């Protein structure tokens, strides 16, 4: 018997909720601490158990859940969430990997591309984004790389949206490269990808309106190029083999003697060895953000306490709520973790930069920061055109047509923080 939960009964919901939370507590700590995963469990999975139009579970005649189907469904959804492939992303962002992939993909010289910020103005982000190092290469496409456990229609919709976000930011269609770690969800979706004529280890799909080209790499499509090749593998095949083998030790991988595989394991070792330093740097960034926000709020209180006590009081309350929310979040992380390390989530400080009225988008906060730093480093009257040009060279302000547009966005952001 199958039940779709869209009625008033709360018993199945409570059962699913308890099982979901029990499973969630059992997964590795590094996954539990991923804010995206926590938010998805809280805002998508559990509410779906009440008004569910997607989560079907097997029950007996009394209405009790008898099958672990619901937990398996949750497990599959969790494993598909962005953020659980952190090591793959860090390896892909290493400059040696950037050169390896871009020289094969676009036949460009090493050093042509670099990895850049993956966040978009709508609050979403892709896994990896490569951009040309030089602003003198406007015709070169940006490259999006996605690592996906199971390729589904929903994932493809997100990937297309990422391409459109890149187009809006850089005004050029990107290249989309997807590594499918496990499987494609359905035969119908799989049939939309066909082997590329000259390089069949790429599966391609029509992409005229969202990408220059879209390639999918799967274990099945690279297998014969792993087994039948004398000498070194194609770099993309080698990178796929490295990902799909999922071997922590190089001895466990079939083509351990391949030069690209050796290089990738060397990069992976450096990434793991530097992991603590990465977490520390991110923690310092978060702490710096909190300190700046608190400092600015105290400055507003001092400025208004004599002339406008009521406004100073509102600033004080906003600061108190800001600190209270952060303390609650960090306390919850401490309680759910068995270790005192790597507890700092990076989203919260950025999201709470606007203390008086909700949140600013992370990209808007970065715009404000860039402009403030520009002002400090330049004397005299503010030149918005020069600020805009300086930002464009660093891949900022791509969606702003001139200095006047930048000034309008900055002024609006400052006005909201001062209200």
Taking only the tens place, the pLDDT of each residue in 179-223 is 999 899 999 999 999 999 999 999 999 999 999 999 999 999 999
Q: Are residues 269 and 300 in the same domain?
A: no
Q: Tell whether 351 is covered by a domain.
A: no
Q: Is residue 355 part of a domain?
A: no
Between CA 7 and CA 396 the distance in angstroms is 49
Instruction: Give a yes or no: residue 352 inside a domain.
Output: no
Stated length of the chain:
419
Give CA 340 to chain center in angstroms.
Answer: 24
Residue 326 shares a structural domain with residue 396: no
Residue 316: per-residue pLDDT: 83
Q: How far apart are the first and last CA of the chain?
A: 57
Task: Tell me, yes or no, whether 71 lies in a domain.
Answer: yes
CB neighbours of residue 155 within 10 Å: 20
Average pLDDT on 390-413 reads: 76
pLDDT at 171: 93
The mean pLDDT of 284-304, rounded to a whole number, is 76
Q: Which residue has the higher pLDDT, 333 or 291?
A: 291
Among the listed ranges 55-64, 181-190, 239-248, 375-384, which one has the minimum average pLDDT value?
Answer: 55-64
Report, as an integer, the average pLDDT of 325-354.
Answer: 51
Q: Are residues 107 and 144 in the same domain?
A: yes
What per-residue confidence (pLDDT) applies to 355?
43
Q: Which stretch of 69-78, 285-294, 297-306 has the lowest confidence by average pLDDT?
A: 69-78
> Does position 71 have pLDDT exceeding 70, yes or no?
no
Selection from 184, 181, 223 nearest residue 200 by Cα: 223
Q: Which of 179-188, 239-248, 319-328 has the highest mean pLDDT?
A: 179-188
Asked whether residue 269 falls in the same domain as residue 337, the answer is: no
In the predicted model, is pLDDT for residue 141 greater than 50? yes
User: According to DSSP H, which parts of 171-218 are helical?
Assistant: 187-190
Instruction: Please indicate, yes or no, whether residues 250 and 323 belong to a single structural domain of this protein.
Output: no
Last residue of a domain, one of 273, 289, 323: 273
* Counted domains in the chain: 4
Q: Looking at the structure, tell me whether residues 291 and 379 fall in a common domain.
A: no
DSSP 353-388: --SSSS---HHHHHHHHHHHHHHHHS-SS--HHHHH
CA–CA gap between residue 345 and residue 282 (Å, rounded): 9
- In this structure, is residue 27 part of a structural domain? yes
Could you tell me if residue 141 is inside a domain?
yes
* pLDDT for res 168: 93
Residues 254 and 290 reside in one and the same domain: no
List the Cα angle 283/289/294 in 5-degree steps.
Answer: 125
pLDDT on residue 285: 60
Of 57, 80, 103, the residue that ends a domain is 80
Instruction: Encode pLDDT of 39-70 as tens digits.
Output: 656 665 555 554 443 444 444 444 443 443 34
pLDDT of residue 379: 79
Cα(326)–Cα(163) distance, integer angstroms: 33
Assess if residue 353 is contained within a domain.
no
In this prediction, residue 315 has a pLDDT band, given cuts at 50, 70 and 90, of confident
The last residue of a domain, from among 222, 239, 273: 273
Distance CA 353, CA 315 (A): 13
DSSP 142: P
Please report which confidence band the pLDDT of residue 3 belongs to, taking 50, 70 and 90 as the band edges: very low
Say yes or no: 185 and 46 in one domain: no
Contact 339, 29 (CB under 8 A): yes
What is the extent of the structural domain holding 367? 360-419
Note whether residue 283 is domain-resident. yes
Q: State whether 295 and 185 are in the same domain.
A: no
If you average pLDDT over each of 96-100, 300-304, 341-345, 389-393, which comes out highest? 96-100
User: Is residue 132's pLDDT more than 90?
Assistant: yes
pLDDT band with cut points at 50, 70 and 90 for residue 344: very low
Which comes out higher in pLDDT, residue 99 or 12? 99
Residues 182 and 267 in one domain: yes
> Between 52 and 115, whose confidence is greater?
115
Binned at pLDDT 50, 70 and 90, residue 251 comes out as low
Average pLDDT value over all residues in the chain: 74
pLDDT at position 235, please?
94
Residues 111 and 236 in one domain: yes
Shared-domain flag, residues 287 and 336 = yes
């Amino acid at each position: 018997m199958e039940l779709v939960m869209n009625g008033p009964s709360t018993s199945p919901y409570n059962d699913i909720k308890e099982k979901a939370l029990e499973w969630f507590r059992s997964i590795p700590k590094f996954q539990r601490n991923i804010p995206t995963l926590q938010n998805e469990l809280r805002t998508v999975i559990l509410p779906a158990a009440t008004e569910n139009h997607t989560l079907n579970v097997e029950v007996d005649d009394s209405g009790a859940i008898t099958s672990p189907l619901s937990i398996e469904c949750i497990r599959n959804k969790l494993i598909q969430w962005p953020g659980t492939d952190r090591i793959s992303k860090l390896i892909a962002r290493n400059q040696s990997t950037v050169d390896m992939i871009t020289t094969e993909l676009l036949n460009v010289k090493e050093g042509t591309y670099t990895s850049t910020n993956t966040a978009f103005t709508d609050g979403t982000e892709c896994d990896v984004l490569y951009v040309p190092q030089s602003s003198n290469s406007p015709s070169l496409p940006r490259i999006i790389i996605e690592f996906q456990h199971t390729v589904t229609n929903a994932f493809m919709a997100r990937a297309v949206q990422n391409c459109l976000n890149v187009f809006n930011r850089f005004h050029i269609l990107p290249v989309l490269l997807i590594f499918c770690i496990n499987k494609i969800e359905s035969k119908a979706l799989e049939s939309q990808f066909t082997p590329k004529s000259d390089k069949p280890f790429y599966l391609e799909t029509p992409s005229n309106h969202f990408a220059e080209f879209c390639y999918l790499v799967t274990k099945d499509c690279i297998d014969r190029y792993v087994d039948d090749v004398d000498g070194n593998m194609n770099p993309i095949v080698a990178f796929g083999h490295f990902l799909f083998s999922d071997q922590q030790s190089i001895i466990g991988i079939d083509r351990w003697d391949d030069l690209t595989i050796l290089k990738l394991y060397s990069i992976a070792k450096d990434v793991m060895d530097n992991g603590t330093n990465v977490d520390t740097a991110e923690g310092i960034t978060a702490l710096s953000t909190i300190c700046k926000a608190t400092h600015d709020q105290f400055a507003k209180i001092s400025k208004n306490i004599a002339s406008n006590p009521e406004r100073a009081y509102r600033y004080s309350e906003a600061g108190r709520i800001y600190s209270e929310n952060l303390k609650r979040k960090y306390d919850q992380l401490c309680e759910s973790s068995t270790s005192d390390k790597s507890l700092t989530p990076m989203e919260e400080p950025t999201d709470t930069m606007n203390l008086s009225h909700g949140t600013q988008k992370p990209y808007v906060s970065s715009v404000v920061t860039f402009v403030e730093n520009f002002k400090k480093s330049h004397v005299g009257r503010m030149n918005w055109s020069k600020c805009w040009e300086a930002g464009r060279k660093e891949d900022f302000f791509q969606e702003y047509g001139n200095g006047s547009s930048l000034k309008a966005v900055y002024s609006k952001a400052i006005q909201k923080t001062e209200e």
